[in-house]
Structure 1
Amino acid sequence: MKQLLLFSTFFIGISLGFGQQSKIDSLKQNLSINIDDGEKLKTYKDLFLVVFNSDNFHELDSTLIQNMNALSKKMNDKEAEIKSYMLFVSHFMRNENFEIAENYSNLLEVNIGRFEDLNLYYQVQNLRGRMYHHFMNYDAAIDIYQKAISKFNKQPKGEIIFDLYSNIASSYRNNNQLNEETDALINAIEFSDSNSNKENQAYSRYSLAWAYLNRANYSKAIDYFKSGIDIIEKEKIIKYRYFHNGLGLAYSRSGQFDLALNHYLTALSFFKDTKNVRFEFDTLNNISALFTRMNKPSKGEEYARLALEIANNLKHPIAISAAKQNLAASLKDLGKYNEAEQLFLELLKDTLSFKNNDIHFKNSLFLNLSDIYYNTNNYKDSYIFLKKNLALSDSINKQNLDSKFSDIETKYQTEKKEKENLQLKADNTEQALLTQKANARNWILGLGILLLSVSAFFIWRRYKAEAKAKQIISDQKDEIEQQKNMVETLQKELHHRMKNNLSFIDLFINLAKGRFEDKAYQNKLNELQNRMRSMFEVHKQLFKKDDVTSVQAKNYIDTLVENVKQAYEKDSVTITNTTNENETLLANISFPVGLIVNEFVTNSYKYAFEDQKEGTIHIALTSQDNVYKLVLKDNGKGLPKDFDINALDSFGLETIQLLIKEYGGTFTIDGSNGVAMNITLPKTAA
């Protein structure tokens, strides 16, 4: 299943060992010595080179990278500046922060286009592709690799081209583009065979092994995994010992469980030594599934809990769902039905898990729940989930039957064609024998052909006229469809560019926050950032959808509220959002609604609960006819008796008032028992 292959299917570098580590330590020590800026920048470059070649990025914290970036700008060294951005991308990629990693990736794209160094260009584009692959945006990764391949095919460099084809093959595989994966692998192998680079030869076999594994050809997969391991062991290429994880999976799927466990444990030891927690998670999860298949559920539970702990630390939703699935399966086999049921139901409700897992995962989920309910005598629910399982099984079987039918149809058409050819030969022979008899009737036949030709001419003219009319209608439909697609493409491009611009603003605010330690500055920047993010969130949601005219109201508001909560960190304040899950918010109204919610919640955090240990903020958005109704409440200290909104010096309330007026809405405010606002906004802005 897909979740078992979460991280194994793409090579993300492993550290090279103690020799590189001592070099890194020595260079970091040099930076602490009082040396001039030129020598210091050279040390930073040397450090980058060692870290980049060994993929030992965890050795560099954000402060060190910031210092390198600042010094490179001061010295006007564009190469060093680009390399500092590369380190930022790697740092935030390891910390699972996609948005900031993408911001720095965008900075790299802007800067590398003005730089002539082809080798550095390759390193940048390879890293950017790895970043998008890491966060499972395979389309973006493929696009970056394709552009780089196009550039380097004009000026071939063997090892660079090999890396690019190997990496794009992995992205194709995860994107389920198996034909494209095969083509890329063939190109990679051609380049690896054309030189004597043992690492490339080992990795090409590793990639082939994965291709066979995904096609369920386990014997071939095992052969190629072992072939790659033979090379790395003979050449002592330590960093490729992660190959053992793939070989373990191949043995597991072929039913050779003891061999699978040995290779998994070898890989696990290596990942712990190199502190590669993502691969460590993957291997732990694979071991858990293996023990479940070996009918050792207690060991399966043990390793699943270890995997889930890492997944939670990574805050990676797909990893979390994968670990929960294995844990639930082990608990079910142990008879811990209540715990297992709870986990399976969580997976059932998790739309992200369903989106990222195939039909076999869902089928297994339904069958496991049916088993649990059967074993707990809940036969009604057991029957319901068994029906769902059977429905999906029918779908899977239909897919298999369709495939078989296609093969049968091909063979049938071939046999049919052969029979038609034989019949044609027989007819020709018979026709030759009848030719003499037919000569006597030739004049009748000629007359018939003449009459038929005249009739056919008039039929043909009518047909051409109708065909021309149909073609005109078809062309008009095509033109309308093209215009529609162009408008949709331009809308998406506009939202994408706006999203990127807002991302840069957010990045610059973060950088500014790092330069001002004063609490007042921090608070003002947080407020500014939350206002900006209320607009940013609209573009994020619109860009993810085919429909760019509306957003999901509840998810949108929840995200805005979470930004404010993180800014103030008051655990005593509870926020409830009772907006219906299916409620949508038109894009043009989502901006004022987001800003109004942001200002109200910010004001409540700042002023409402000064004398209270606990507080509550309530939010509800509904729509009726042609208006939206927004209710905002808190149970804080309320407003003074002589409160006059027109005379109040409050930026937040003034912003709310101006937004409502600007968009043709109305509002009432009551401050007698906390603060309560009832706001209406027309669905079409004034």
Structure 2
Amino acid sequence: MPSENPKGREDLREAIMGFGEKSVRKSYYPQLRETFHKLQRFKALLDHTRDFIFLVDVNGKIVDVNKSSLQKLGYSKEDISSIFEIIPTEYNDNFRELLSKKEASMEMPLLKGDGGLILTEMNLNIVKFNGDNYAVIVARDIIGRKKLEEELRKSLEEKEILLKEMHHRSKNNLQIISSLLNLQAMTTDAKKETFKETQDRIKSMALIHEQLYQSEDLARINFKEYAEKLIKNLLNSYPMGKSVTTKLDIENITLEVDTAIPLGLIMNELLTNTLKYAFFGKDKGTIEVTFKRLKDNLELKIADDGIGFPEDKLHESKSLGLKLVNVLVRQLEGRLSVKSQNGSCFKIIFKG
């Protein structure tokens, strides 16, 4: 039988309670203390991050906010109770739309305590705590980034203007050279045909610079547009008193300047050769120009229904034009071939 002595009962109670308290301290207190320290470290981390971090409920009520947000925005925790108090009125509907999504991102300004604004990139994620939805909002100040982007944009614009001016002046200088050659041809005993061919080569390069400074892309050109203009210029440049029809099958392919210039000169030489010699003894003729992509390669074909071209003369010709074609094809690391059947067909294949 237990003692009826009240003091005995109290001693027994204290012994039992003391044993329990010691057990709890021994088994749970170290874990609780470590967990508490972890929470303190995590809170310190959030409080000192540069980002604005908010935890809000589905109605926008601020449940928690990191210390650095309050410091940067110039508020105390008691000053703001809703996220809508620091979002400009005109953005409220946009933010409500964000709250309706599981995750979202957009640029949004935050109102400072002094009335100023901080432009941020805001990311929002919906999470569950004890069965209720909350929004975790992480916003980053992007004013510095925006200023840098603006400086880069202005710098690029200045460079584009300089490049346009460079291409414009290059085109004008090439035109001056062409005009000087024309004057020289009028006053010299040398073959005017030689000056004419040189002029056409210069014009083919000037046309590329003209197209470059007129376009938004200063490093590449649409070769279809260029080829159509070049062919038109050459047809006007060689009035033969014959009916020459052109058939064009040119894909919309954009080429770098370093590729477009040699390819343009190749086209100029082959078309000039065709216009001068292919239709000898004929009243009319047809020229077909094809330019297309074949997997990793580009293929240019210039064909005619004229008198044909000796296939064995392609790499042995003493003609300056064909010598130039061979040099330029090697520059493009391409292959040049010709077939002479019912006319001639020059084909160039190169990597592109």
The TM-score with structure 1 as length reference comes to 0.31
Aligned 1:487-526 pairs, distance under 5 A: 487-516=159-188, 521-526=191-196
Distance in 1 (alpha carbons) for counterparts of 2:333 and 2:115: 59
Q: Which residue of 1 aligns with 2:299?
A: 629
Question: Alignment identity in percent?
Answer: 29
Distance in 2 (alpha carbons) for counterparts of 1:496 and 1:524: 27
Q: What is the CA-CA distance between 1:581 and the residue it aligns to?
A: 7.2
- Structure 1 residue matching 2:241: 3-state secondary structure: coil
Q: RMSD across aligned C-alpha pairs, in angstroms? A: 3.1
Amino acid at match of 2:318: D
- Structure 1 residue matching 2:288: 3-state secondary structure: strand
Aligned 1:664-683 pairs, distance under 5 A: 664-683=333-352
Distance in 1 (alpha carbons) for counterparts of 2:77 and 2:193: 90
Residue-by-residue CA offset, 1:261-304 (whole Å, 9 max, x unaligned): xxxxxxxxxxxxxxxxxxxxxxxxxxxxxxxxxxxxxxxxxxxx
**8 Å Cα contact 1:638/1:673 also seen in 2:** yes
Q: Which residue of 1 aligns with 2:288?
A: 618
Q: What is the CA-CA distance between 1:499 and the residue it aligns to?
A: 1.5
Distance in 2 (alpha carbons) for counterparts of 1:486 and 1:456: 47
Q: Which has the higher strand share?
A: 2
Residue-by-residue CA offset, 1:512-548 (whole Å, 9 max, x unaligned): 23324x5x62211110000000000011111112222
**8 Å Cα contact 2:230/2:268 also seen in 1:** yes
Change (3 A) 1:465 1:558: closer
Question: How many residue pairs are counted as aligned between the two chains?
Answer: 229
2:229 is equivalent to residue 559 of structure 1: yes
Distance in 2 (alpha carbons) for counterparts of 1:524 and 1:510: 11
2:235 is equivalent to residue 538 of structure 1: no
Distance in 1 (alpha carbons) for counterparts of 2:268 and 2:116: 65
Aligned 1:245-260 pairs, distance under 5 A: none
Q: Which residue of 2 aligns with 1:657?
A: 326
Change (3 A) 1:578 1:464: same
Q: Which has the higher helix share?
A: 1
Match of 2:240 among 532, 546, 570: 570
Distance in 2 (alpha carbons) for counterparts of 1:627 and 1:485: 34
**8 Å Cα contact 1:526/1:567 also seen in 2:** no
**8 Å Cα contact 1:619/1:630 also seen in 2:** yes
Aligned 1:169-248 pairs, distance under 5 A: none
Q: What is the CA-CA distance between 1:674 and the residue it aligns to?
A: 1.9
Gaps of 5+ in 1: 1-451
Distance in 2 (alpha carbons) for counterparts of 1:487 and 1:563: 31
Q: What is the CA-CA distance between 1:454 and the residue it aligns to?
A: 8.2
Residue-by-residue CA offset, 1:217-248 (whole Å, 9 max, x unaligned): xxxxxxxxxxxxxxxxxxxxxxxxxxxxxxxx
2:292 is equivalent to residue 588 of structure 1: no
Q: Which residue of 2 aligns with 1:64?
A: none
Aligned 1:143-542 pairs, distance under 5 A: 455-456=78-79, 460=112, 469-516=141-188, 521-542=191-212
**8 Å Cα contact 1:553/1:579 also seen in 2:** no
Distance in 2 (alpha carbons) for counterparts of 1:563 and 1:512: 21
Q: What is the CA-CA distance between 1:575 and the residue it aligns to?
A: 3.9
Distance in 1 (alpha carbons) for counterparts of 2:296 and 2:115: 51
- Structure 1 residue matching 2:244: 3-state secondary structure: strand
Residue-by-residue CA offset, 1:8-38 (whole Å, 9 max, x unaligned): xxxxxxxxxxxxxxxxxxxxxxxxxxxxxxx
- Structure 1 residue matching 2:300: 3-state secondary structure: strand
Amino acid at match of 1:600: L
- Structure 1 residue matching 2:316: 3-state secondary structure: coil
Distance in 1 (alpha carbons) for counterparts of 2:118 and 2:251: 51
Q: Which residue of 2 aligns with 1:597?
A: 267
Distance in 2 (alpha carbons) for counterparts of 1:467 and 1:602: 61
Q: What is the CA-CA distance between 1:485 and the residue it aligns to?
A: 1.7
**8 Å Cα contact 2:297/2:349 also seen in 1:** yes
- Structure 2 residue matching 1:637: 3-state secondary structure: coil
Amino acid at match of 2:284: E
Residue-by-residue CA offset, 1:177-233 (whole Å, 9 max, x unaligned): xxxxxxxxxxxxxxxxxxxxxxxxxxxxxxxxxxxxxxxxxxxxxxxxxxxxxxxxx
Q: What is the CA-CA distance between 1:578 and the residue it aligns to?
A: 1.5
Q: Which residue of 1 aligns with 2:46?
A: none
Q: What is the CA-CA distance between 1:611 and the residue it aligns to?
A: 3.0
Q: What is the CA-CA distance between 1:649 and the residue it aligns to?
A: 1.4
Q: What is the CA-CA distance between 1:466 and the residue it aligns to?
A: 5.5
Distance in 1 (alpha carbons) for counterparts of 2:252 and 2:264: 17
Distance in 2 (alpha carbons) for counterparts of 1:562 and 1:512: 25
Q: What is the CA-CA distance between 1:467 and the residue it aligns to?
A: 5.8
Change (3 A) 1:514 1:656: same
Change (3 A) 1:639 1:589: same
Distance in 2 (alpha carbons) for counterparts of 1:573 and 1:598: 20
- Structure 2 residue matching 1:578: 3-state secondary structure: strand
Q: What is the CA-CA distance between 1:580 and the residue it aligns to?
A: 4.2
Q: What is the CA-CA distance between 1:596 and the residue it aligns to?
A: 0.9
**8 Å Cα contact 1:627/1:682 also seen in 2:** yes
- Structure 2 residue matching 1:579: 3-state secondary structure: strand
**8 Å Cα contact 2:306/2:343 also seen in 1:** yes
Change (3 A) 1:640 1:629: closer
Distance in 1 (alpha carbons) for counterparts of 2:119 and 2:211: 45
Residue-by-residue CA offset, 1:304-334 (whole Å, 9 max, x unaligned): xxxxxxxxxxxxxxxxxxxxxxxxxxxxxxx
